[in-house]
Amino acid sequence: MRRFLRIGRALRIGFVDPICRRLVAIGFRIEMHGTPPPRDVSCIWACNHSSHWEPVIALACARTPLHSLAMVELFCTPLRRFLLKLMLTIPVDRSRNDSTAAREAARRLRDGQQILVFPEGGIRIGANALPYRKEPLIPGAAYLAALSGAPILPVYITNGRHGYQLRTWFGQRVRTTVYFGEMLYPTPLPDENRKQTLDRINHELLESLRMLHRRMLADLLPAGSGSSLAQRQPAQSYRLQPEVDFPPGREPCQQQEEQHARAGGHSEAYTSHP
């Protein structure tokens, strides 16, 4: 297995990752707030997931080949299973607590690798997107951090869904901002049991991702409109108010990403992937 992973890593470094970076550069103009971790730092990238483009954008920003967790349904044929595993992907059965996948991911983290996870549990847009969700995140990232001792790096990527639009790839590159948060370390507090530790880490991760989203919204405001994040985006705005009516087909998350895209030079309306 280790030899197989070395071959996959060599392919990623020499062939796959450079191609992905060139592909991303065609349609996206990436700006990074913060810096990605050095290649020799083992950590868990915990990223929002609004489209299929966040994994590719994260890969383009990383300094080392990212391993990733993916649903087992993608490994449906022997060829796909072989290629995905060769690309350093670990299959996860989301219908149960997949201890096999967790142990394999923890082993790679202890070997010094970086792993990309999506704690939302799948693609979420509109009222189900990360800033508006009422339920906790999927605890996989927190469990993996506690199992391996590796810290969690919160990452928030904007405008990934514009990758579904043809104009993105024909001369109208989208401004895509990648926000890196502070590392979260899985250190248990005194008199705290394992479940309490996992719940605390999971809650801190959700709040860190929401803070990165608030930072993105604050960056959209013109200079001089106030420097306090609390003034720019109050915490209660993350809860949808039932009495508010949004225009048809324009959910709150889509409105914000449309505004962010216009700030990067777009004037056309945002349309989501069917």
194-209 per-position pLDDT tens digit: 899 999 999 999 999 9
Instruction: Give domain status of residue 273, yes or no.
Output: no
Instruction: Give domain status of residue 214, yes or no.
Output: yes
Query: For residues 86 and 8, is the Cβ–Cβ distance under 8 A?
Result: yes
Q: How far apart are alpha carbons 31 and 127 in whole angstroms?
A: 26
109-127: per-residue pLDDT in tens? Answer: 999 999 999 999 888 887 7
Highest mean pLDDT among 67-71, 95-99, 133-137, 217-221: 67-71
Instruction: Give domain status of residue 216, yes or no.
Output: yes
Maximum separation of any 2 CA atoms in the chain, in Å: 58
Query: For residues 119 and 140, is the Cβ–Cβ distance under 8 A?
Result: yes
51-55, 63-67, 145-149, 233-237: segment of lowest average pLDDT: 233-237
Instruction: Give domain status of residue 274, yes or no.
Output: no
Query: For residues 66 and 43, is the Cβ–Cβ distance under 8 A?
Result: no
C-alpha torsion sign, points 178, 182, 187, 193: negative
Number of domains in the chain: 1
Instruction: Give domain status of residue 109, yes or no.
Output: yes
Q: How much of the chain exceeds pLDDT 70, in percent?
A: 81
65-77: per-residue pLDDT in tens? Answer: 999 998 888 888 8
Instruction: Give domain status of residue 47, yes or no.
Output: yes
161-193: per-residue pLDDT in tens? Answer: 999 999 999 888 899 999 999 999 998 888 889
Instruction: Give domain status of residue 234, yes or no.
Output: yes
Instruction: Give domain status of residue 269, yes or no.
Output: no
Owning domain of residue 97: 2-263
Q: Domain with 91 in it: what CATH number?
A: 3.40.1130
